[in-house]
Amino acid sequence: MHDLMSRASTRGILVAFEGIDGAGKTTQVKRLAGRLGEQGVPFVATKEPTDGSWGAKIRTSAQSGRMSAEDELQAFLHDRREHVATVIAPALAEGKVVVVDRYYLSTVAYQGARGLSPARLLRENAFAPPPDILIVLDIEPALGLQRIRQRGDRADLFEREDELHKAREIFRTLTVANLHVLDGTKEPAALSRHITTLLFDKLAVVAPER
C-alpha cells in the first residue's frame, strides 16, 4: 500500500488555528467544520482552553486576577495534556480530522509575551502532536480588541494591548513546520476558501478515496 494511504488509516490530520484574540479563529473553525460535515469527512472540532477543570481555572483567572506566568504555564500544560490524551490523540488514531481552536503555539505566544522563553515553551509542549496544518490569523491588536468590543464582550486580563502586540510578534516570527500566516482582515469567506483548499489538498494526498 502507498505510504500515505497506510498513514491515513492510523493517523488523521490535525489542523490548528492560532492568532491573537479577535483574529477570527472561531469563525473559521465553524466554517471549516461546516465544510467537513457537508463532505462527510469524519472530524472533531475542539478548543483550548478546554471546558475541563484546568480550563475553568484559567478562565476564572482571566476575569479575577491572573496567576503568575509560571503557574499559568503549568495550568495550560495540564489542560493540554488532558486534552491530547482524551480527545486529540484518540481522534487522530481513528484517522479523523481534528480541528483545534488554539493549541500550543498560543502558549508560546502568550506565555512568551509574559516573559517566558519561547524556545523553552516549545520544548515543554513536545508531548503534543504537531499540527499538519497550522493557521495563524494575523491582525493588529487594536482591530482584535475592537472586534471583541463589537461582539459585546469586554476584553479580559489576557487581552491587554501591549501583551497582544508581543504575542502577535511571536506568532509572526515563528519558524515551525506547516505554518500559514494569513491576513485576518480578509473577508471571512475568502479566508475560509483558502483554508478549506489547504485541508482538502492534504486530504486528497493522505486519503485519495475520500
- Chain residues that interact with ligand TYD, rule: CB under 6 A: 21, 48-49, 59, 62, 76, 102, 106-107, 110-111, 158-159
Q: Which secondary structure element, helix H or strand E, spans residue 44, and what is its range?
A: strand 43-47
Q: How many CB atoms lie within 10 A of CB 155?
A: 16
Rounded to a whole number of angstroms, the minimum distance from the CB of residue 6 to ligand TYD is: 32
> In the structure grid, which three cell numbers stand for residue 201, read together?
489538498
> In the structure grid, which three cell numbers stand for residue 101, read together?
481552536
Q: Is 68 exposed, middle or buried (0-12, 13-18, 19+ CB in 10 A)?
A: exposed
Q: How many CB atoms lie within 10 A of CB 131?
A: 22
Residue closer to ligand TYD, measured from CB, 22 or 207: 22
Rounded to a whole number of angstroms, the minimum distance from the CB of residue 35 to ligand TYD is: 21
Residue 205 CB contacts under 8 Å (≥ 6 apart), including other chains = 4
Distance of alpha carbon 124 from alpha carbon 63, whole angstroms: 26
Rounded to a whole number of angstroms, the minimum distance from the CB of residue 74 to ligand TYD is: 11
Q: Would you tell me the crossing angle of helices 53-64 and 69-83 to the nearest 10 degrees? A: 150
Residue closer to ligand TYD, measured from CB, 102 or 168: 102
Residue closer to ligand TYD, measured from CB, 21 or 132: 21
Rounded to a whole number of angstroms, the minimum distance from the CB of residue 31 to ligand TYD is: 17
Rounded to a whole number of angstroms, the minimum distance from the CB of residue 110 to ligand TYD is: 3
Residue closer to ligand TYD, measured from CB, 46 or 106: 106
DSSP 8-state code for residue 131: P
Rounded to a whole number of angstroms, the minimum distance from the CB of residue 163 to ligand TYD is: 9
Residue closer to ligand TYD, measured from CB, 47 or 96: 47
Residue closer to ligand TYD, measured from CB, 77 or 195: 77
